[in-house]
Amino acid sequence: MKRLRSALVTVFTSGTILAFSSFGGAVAHAATNLVQNGGFETNGGQGQLDGTYYPQYPNQLVTTAAHWHPNLVSTTQIGNYNFITSHSFLASTNYYYPGIWGATPGYANGNGFHSSPNGGWFLASDGFDYRSPVEQTITGLDVGSTYTLSFEYARSQEANVSGNSYQKWVVNFGGESFETPNRLLVSHGFDGWYTATNTFTASSATQVLSFLAVGTNGVPPYLLLDGVSLTANDPTPPSPAATPGPLPLLGMASAFAWSGKLRRRIQAGAAHRIG
């Protein structure tokens, strides 16, 4: 009889262990980046983004970047000063638009200029002359849900010019705005890459994400952008205790099944002793 009771306790203990085993950590899922071509890697090479070629500027290059387009807020001969470029291109060619201090031959002054942590291509935007926002339309949003925007950015200066400047990115997403710190960049300087994050709430299923470079003094300041990411924030998960999974039920079922067998064996043993 003691052995049977001991077995019963062991069974119920096993069932309890099974029940608790399903309350482990939740399975992690990689967040989906809703921004397409966030690293500007899909492009037509070095050049002015969606620019127009003019014969009087024979060294001008024009290009495209998949899913990104400038919003031309002003009409000028050049159109906009947003460029797709890379450190390797800047370091190999004395190209005026957008030659950058610290990278372009003849202007490599040791200011520490380097590629972003994302690597490869990036966007370089003039924050003073002919500036215009660069935009992408984001679809598939859930109204009322929150989304986290993350991107890498840096401050630099066009080669062949001098002067201090304050620089920042102004980001807009569906009517909500966010700005990076407005910091001073010394003449001919480069202050490294930073990561910016901000949370937005979707007000529509489709919204425009835009980046506008803003700088002072017309020296001109060039703001750099790379590694743009927008991911949905998971809602608060329910308490695990409120949602038992299959393992607790399996453990309980096993325990009750064994208890039934033991009860019948006990009753049979008692009847045999009485007889």
Our CA dihedral for 47, 51, 54, 58, rounded to 10 degrees, sits at: 0
pLDDT confidence tier of residue 249, bands split at 50, 70 and 90: very low
Q: How far apart are CA 63 and CA 61, in angstroms?
A: 7
| pLDDT value for 230 | 98
| Average pLDDT in the chain | 81
Q: Are 91 and 108 in contact (CB under 8 A)?
A: yes
**DSSP assignment, residue 100?**
B
Q: How far apart are CA 254 and CA 265, in angstroms?
A: 17
Sheet with 193-201, edge to edge strand ranges: 62-63, 47-49, 82-86, 121-126, 221-232, 146-157, 193-201
What is the rounded average pLDDT of the residues 17-27? 41
pLDDT, tens digit (0-9, with 9 covering 90-100), for 180-227: 999 999 999 999 999 999 999 999 999 999 999 999 987 889 999 999
Angle between helices 2-21 and 246-274 (to 10 degrees): 170
What is the rounded average pLDDT of the residues 73-82? 64
The yes-or-no verdict on residue 6 having pLDDT over 60 is: no
Q: Are 125 and 81 in contact (CB under 8 A)?
A: yes
| pLDDT value for 238 | 54
Q: In which element (H, E) is residue 178 found?
A: strand 176-179
Decide: helix, strand or coil at residue 262.
Answer: helix
The yes-or-no verdict on residue 241 having pLDDT over 70 is: no
- Strands 146-157, 165-173: pairing is unpaired
Q: How far apart are CA 217 and CA 195, in angstroms?
A: 25
The residues spanned by each domain of the chain are 47-232
Domain 47-232 has CATH 3.10.450: no
pLDDT, tens digit (0-9, with 9 covering 90-100), for 80-115: 889 999 999 999 877 656 799 999 999 999 999 999
pLDDT confidence tier of residue 264, bands split at 50, 70 and 90: low
